[in-house]
């Protein structure tokens, strides 16, 4: 798990063992403040993950991605 002030970089590949049929996903967006997709509220959904199987993207919680998902390939981490 990364510290509170770090996040995974765009391009990082992850897979979710809770949803194996979703295959591999790529982090395509990072919003450290958690408000770009909900402009009037902040939340912990900071990672925009694109599923290669479904072709859809979804905002996911920082803790969920970093604790529950399996990191396949990392492009590094960034402090903010």
Task: Provide DSSP, 26-79.
Answer: EEEEE-TTS-SSSTT---SEEEEEEETTT--EEEEEHHIIIIISEEEE---EEE
- Do 80 and 60 meet the contact criterion of CB atoms below 8 Å apart? no
pTM of the model: 0.85
> Among candidates 22, 18, 21, 8, which has minimal Cα distance to 56?
22
Per domain, the residue ranges of the chain are 6-74
| pLDDT of the residue at 42 | 60
C-alpha count within 13 angstroms, C-beta hemisphere, residue 14: 27
More confident residue, 16 or 32: 16
Dump pLDDT digits (tens) for 33-62. 776 666 555 667 789 999 999 899 999 989
């Amino acid at each position: 798990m990364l510290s509170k002030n770090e996040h995974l970089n765009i391009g990082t590949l992850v897979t979710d063992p809770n949803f194996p049929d979703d295959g591999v996903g790529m982090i395509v967006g990072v919003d450290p403040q958690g408000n770009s997709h909900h402009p009037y509220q902040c939340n912990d959904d900071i990672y925009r993950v694109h599923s290669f199987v479904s072709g859809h993207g979804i905002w996911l919680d920082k803790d969920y991605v970093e604790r529950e998902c399996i990191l396949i390939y990392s492009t590094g981490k960034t402090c903010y």
